[in-house]
Structure 1
Amino acid sequence: MVSLPPFFSSSYELLPSSSSEAVEGIKTRAKQVPRGVLYFLGAQLTLVLLAGFLFSSGGRPPPPPHGGPGGDGLGPYQWGGFDEMCVGEFGTYVCEEYGPHNVKLSRSYEGTGTRFREVFRRVQQENLPLRVAVLGGSVSGGHGIGDLGSDKIWIRKTYEAMDAAYPHPDNSLRNAAVGAVGSDYFGACWENRIKKEEVDIVFVEHGINDFFGHDAALSMEDLLRGLLDLPQRPAVLIARTIGLEADMIAVGGDEHLSVGTYYDVPVISLRPVLLPLLIKQPERDAEYFVRTNEGNIDHRHINEKGHHALGDFIGSYVLDQFEVASHQLRDLRASGHEDWRQLFGKQKAGKHDWPGPEGLGDVPKLRLFQKYDPDAVVVPMRTQCLTMDQGEFVSNPLLPALKSDEGWSQLDKGHDKTYLWAETPGSTFEVELDVTGGKVEIYYLRAGAADYRLGSVECWIDDDVDSKRRFDGWWDDGNPHIGQFGVVAEGLSPGKHTLSCEVMEDSVNPHGGTEFRIISVVAL
């Protein structure tokens, strides 16, 4: 008996094949019908039965009309039309836990998933370990819930789901987050946090540390191009949490979204899920955010519940790509091919000369924020980053590179926050830099809280003291404490140059502070 596809009503019945009366009746009536009509009806019946077979074999039928079976306007779909996200053990769990509508809301930009599928096909076919890293700020560093190694951080939830789906004994996770820095720091210095040759998947989380504005988009583009250009073609995903302490709801993460779409990098966000709820019921913020030492709600850092949800939403998306890649590999083996790259030849380009799939996952030739010019050549950015970072992969530490450091020393503040620090006016350091693109910058801490006692420095290049520039660590109360780049000089000739910085006695800090904290020095 032919089984009907699931979207047909159960009241439909097929005639039993053993009914002789039914068969004779059909023969008698068939003699009264013109032969051409019978051919037409036979063709239509064949199409219906073929469609039923395909749908019952795993195809997905078109949605039924609103108001269909079930009485909720969604038809007989178990997950209200979001079934494609709710398959498998983990997908079912996520949909049951959060509701499929929230899973869908979290997917601000799904993209094609090409890079993730490439990675999953490669590691499965070659039996390789899956090497995962995260570059983020204090949220990814576990602020308020633990340290970098805490199993409560969102990346642990995502990684556990991936490791369960592909349980290779050598799978690895590196949490390379650094508190109080944004994508601008990582755009120039990410190679000091992860070993670039040994990463397959990178999650980046800088949405609330980046201020809303063009600079956030530029720095995110620097970071994405640097990662996507790696020869092993790693997959990259932008992870977005929720922060509500800025001057407006929009933050740097909203600028990152446009960059993600240009580079086909998925964006998974907690904000679309939680923000409507918190606007309607603001008293529920304690359910999702940590508290400060004073007992106040910290609207920049989600709590364990928020971390768990973000990790699950990202894991849901990633495992969807894993499932597709696994199916593609099965198809590959069944077809007799040996290389997963041969799958691209089996995909159709579409009609009317639309682009084919061959270039998916490639880095665009042009940067997003340059004028359209098909003949332009974009030279990869070469950056020298001397950093106070204490990570195991730091290749250019700042402190040993100093030519002189009168009054300056290392300051460790925990959570991977380490600074070149001085507080005595007149304290000066010098460091030699290799300039290729004509620019030198310092990356320094800015904060408005009185207990930071931040002051100001003046910096200059070589002996050009008359062109020195001032940088203030303190800013208006209410602003977050965060790292920020300051341009010391531009238009420099390629080659060696010396950067000098001196702590000023004059301070804009109304509390009288003079200390200054430098995170890194960058030459472009």
Structure 2
Amino acid sequence: MNKKIKITLCAVLCASMLAGCADNSASGGSAVSSDSSSDTQTTSSVSESTGSSSDTSSETSSIDESKLTEEQIYDNMVERSLMDLGNLERMSKFIGKLESKQEVTIAFIGGSITEGLTAGPEKCWAKLTYDRLCEKYPDTKINYVNAGLSGTPSVLGNIRLQRDVLDHKPDMVFVEFAVNDGNDQIYKDSYDAMVRKILSQENQPAVALYFTVIKSGHTCEEYMSQVGKAYGLPMVSLNNVLSHEFETGRMKWEDYSDDESHPNEWGHKMTADLIMNMFDKATEKIKTMGDVTISPLPDTWVYSDRFADMTFIDRTHSSDKLKISSTGTFDTEKETLTSFPDGWSYKGKPSECEPMEFEFTGKNLMLVYKCANSKVYGSLEFTVDGEKYTTIATSASDGWNNPVATLAYSGAEGAHKVSIKPVTQNGEDKMTYVEILGFGVA
């Protein structure tokens, strides 16, 4: 751990503890709950025999934390974050490259916490982790890819994975979607597909999972960690850190975040410490492992293969899986969103719009669209194989001109003909606006 950063963070923690004690005296303290709180360990340690975390709650309960220094308490927070080191086969290859001064690329994919909302691109945990690795390996060229995108879950992450991450041929990928996802099956299947696709790359990249939590206690750590266990991946839990500190009254949510979800600058620095602790523990363990062979992926999926090898298509990304025969009167020149600039849009009366038509081959078709909170934004009506299949609204009360991915068709494997046209929210033939950002096919 960088000594200067550690001292700074310990000072912040000390201040937080003092403030927390005062708050507790007045109000009885505060705590954050979690959907997976019953499964969250109060501490973790690294097993010497397997490299996996083990339950040491009985050992922790015997420690009188009142006698620890702020620095020791902070060290315990960092240690508690490590859920599992996994089998370290891929990490051994990545760390070996770093130590032998081979050029590597490290990538991060997730939502706004990874993108760096509130802290900024230079002070977010992903960039800080990259900076720390550059300091640790000053003679190694390390390339940095931040594919965090605000407000997006693993459903959209799986669709954009190739474009935003895999095209850079990363040697190491961090995945962070625990607070952007829900508990529905579509999230579980998408998360499984995304992680497995990264692991299936020819260059055998290392993958680590980072599980965040928001003020309400929401986190998908419980089911996402099953993916990590099945594929032998390192896993780091923020909830393991915060829940214990909140319960003791040493910290409150506002010490970590200035809103309901995002870490403040201190929170991002702490997160980088959690990640570097994983790297340090992995490095020490790898020294005892000798030659390592990367095991093949298990034949069975953790959840489902229905979104396996998802392919993204827009104006500049083409695939034999989807062939457009006509874009109708949809605009093919206008830039849509910065994150998805090459889509198609339409502004006008539905009766005056000629539909977009294409054929896709697969079982599932995802629509990526711009979602706005506006009466002007209409819906998109899908006709599949000659029959009206679904209508998808592109306006929602929580829309903020953000990209959204939704399942537009799920059915039998094969070739399917699709026609898309805009309709207004109330069905009247009046001015409306829609933006298609792209499609995903699996």
Could you state the TM-score of these two structures normalised by the residue count of structure 2? Answer: 0.72
Question: Which position in structure 2 is the counterpart of 1:260?
Answer: 228
Please report how far the alpha carbon of residue 284 of structure 1 lies from its aligned counterpart in structure 2 after TM superposition: 4.6
Alignment of 1:364-379 (within 5 A): 364-369=298-303
Is 1:164 equivalent to 2:164 in the alignment? no
Please report how far the alpha carbon of residue 328 of structure 1 lies from its aligned counterpart in structure 2 after TM superposition: 4.6
Alignment of 1:72-471 (within 5 A): 96=71, 99-125=74-100, 127-146=101-120, 150-196=121-167, 198-244=169-215, 249-275=217-243, 277=245, 284-290=252-258, 297=259, 299-325=260-286, 327-328=287-288, 340-341=291-292, 361-369=295-303, 381-387=308-314, 403-408=326-331, 410-414=334-338, 416=339, 418=341, 420-426=344-350, 427=353, 429-435=355-361, 437-446=362-371, 450=373, 454-461=377-384, 464=386, 466-471=387-392
1:455–1:514: 8 Å Cα contact kept in structure 2? Answer: yes
Q: Counterparts of 2:355 and 2:434 in 1: how far apart (Å)?
A: 12
Going from structure 1 to structure 2, the CA distance change for 1:417 and 1:113 (only over 3 Å counts) comes to: same
Going from structure 1 to structure 2, the CA distance change for 1:417 and 1:476 (only over 3 Å counts) comes to: same
Going from structure 1 to structure 2, the CA distance change for 1:283 and 1:317 (only over 3 Å counts) comes to: closer
Q: Which amino acid aligns with 1:312?
A: D
Please report how far the alpha carbon of residue 219 of structure 1 lies from its aligned counterpart in structure 2 after TM superposition: 0.8
Question: Which position in structure 2 is the counterpart of 1:31?
Answer: none
Please report how far the alpha carbon of residue 209 of structure 1 lies from its aligned counterpart in structure 2 after TM superposition: 1.4
CA deviations 1:92-112 (Å, max 9, x no partner) are xxx938623211332233323
1:440–1:488: 8 Å Cα contact kept in structure 2? Answer: yes
3-state SS in 2 of match to 1:300: coil
**Higher relative contact order, structure no. (Cα contacts within 8 Å, ≥ 6 residues apart):** 2
3-state SS in 2 of match to 1:174: strand
**Matched positions, count:** 378
Query: What residue ranges of structure 1 are gaps of 5+ in the alignment?
Result: 1-62, 67-71, 81-94, 291-296, 333-339, 342-357, 371-377
2:368–2:404: 8 Å Cα contact kept in structure 1? Answer: yes
Q: Counterparts of 1:244 and 1:482 in 2: how far apart (Å)?
A: 24
Please report how far the alpha carbon of residue 470 of structure 1 lies from its aligned counterpart in structure 2 after TM superposition: 0.9
Going from structure 1 to structure 2, the CA distance change for 1:431 and 1:180 (only over 3 Å counts) comes to: farther
Alignment of 1:10-21 (within 5 A): none
Question: Which position in structure 2 is the counterpart of 1:483?
Answer: 404
1:269–1:310: 8 Å Cα contact kept in structure 2? Answer: no
Question: Which position in structure 2 is the counterpart of 1:54?
Answer: none
Give the structure with higher Rg (CA): 1
2:155–2:187: 8 Å Cα contact kept in structure 1? Answer: yes
Question: Which position in structure 1 is the counterpart of 2:7?
Answer: none
Q: Which amino acid aligns with 2:420?
A: C
3-state SS in 2 of match to 1:369: coil
3-state SS in 1 of match to 2:218: coil
Q: Counterparts of 1:478 and 1:434 in 2: how far apart (Å)?
A: 28
Question: Which position in structure 2 is the counterpart of 1:35?
Answer: none
Q: Which amino acid aligns with 2:405?
A: Q
Q: Counterparts of 2:414 and 2:348 in 1: how far apart (Å)?
A: 33
Going from structure 1 to structure 2, the CA distance change for 1:211 and 1:402 (only over 3 Å counts) comes to: farther
CA deviations 1:141-183 (Å, max 9, x no partner) are 122332xxx2201011211222222223421111122233221
2:166–2:198: 8 Å Cα contact kept in structure 1? Answer: no
2:114–2:126: 8 Å Cα contact kept in structure 1? Answer: yes
3-state SS in 2 of match to 1:467: strand
CA deviations 1:116-164 (Å, max 9, x no partner) are 1232124535x41221011112221122332xxx220101121122222
3-state SS in 1 of match to 2:261: strand
Please report how far the alpha carbon of residue 264 of structure 1 lies from its aligned counterpart in structure 2 after TM superposition: 1.3
Question: Which position in structure 1 is the counterpart of 2:424?
Answer: 505
1:217–1:252: 8 Å Cα contact kept in structure 2? Answer: no
1:196–1:230: 8 Å Cα contact kept in structure 2? Answer: no
Going from structure 1 to structure 2, the CA distance change for 1:499 and 1:380 (only over 3 Å counts) comes to: closer
1:119–1:200: 8 Å Cα contact kept in structure 2? Answer: yes
Going from structure 1 to structure 2, the CA distance change for 1:488 and 1:425 (only over 3 Å counts) comes to: farther
CA deviations 1:345-372 (Å, max 9, x no partner) are xxxxxxxxxxxxx6x64311211236xx
3-state SS in 2 of match to 1:219: helix
CA RMSD for the aligned pairs? 4.1
Q: Which amino acid aligns with 1:104?
A: E
Percent identical pairs in the alignment equals 18
Please report how far the alpha carbon of residue 453 of structure 1 lies from its aligned counterpart in structure 2 after TM superposition: 5.5
Q: Counterparts of 1:317 and 1:170 in 2: how far apart (Å)?
A: 21
CA deviations 1:232-270 (Å, max 9, x no partner) are 21110112222236xxx3343432121111111222122
3-state SS in 2 of match to 1:487: strand
3-state SS in 1 of match to 2:113: coil
Tell me which protein shows more strand as a share of its residues: 2
1:445–1:517: 8 Å Cα contact kept in structure 2? Answer: yes
2:79–2:277: 8 Å Cα contact kept in structure 1? Answer: no
CA deviations 1:297-326 (Å, max 9, x no partner) are 3x132222221211220121022212333x
Going from structure 1 to structure 2, the CA distance change for 1:161 and 1:472 (only over 3 Å counts) comes to: same
Is 1:519 equivalent to 2:440 in the alignment? no
Q: Which amino acid aligns with 1:316?
A: N
1:179–1:417: 8 Å Cα contact kept in structure 2? Answer: no
Please report how far the alpha carbon of residue 198 of structure 1 lies from its aligned counterpart in structure 2 after TM superposition: 2.5
Q: Which amino acid aligns with 1:229?
A: S
3-state SS in 2 of match to 1:211: coil
Could you state the TM-score of these two structures normalised by the residue count of structure 1? Answer: 0.61
Alignment of 1:13-92 (within 5 A): none
Q: Counterparts of 2:146 and 2:276 in 1: how far apart (Å)?
A: 16
Q: Counterparts of 2:110 and 2:320 in 1: how far apart (Å)?
A: 20
1:259–1:368: 8 Å Cα contact kept in structure 2? Answer: yes
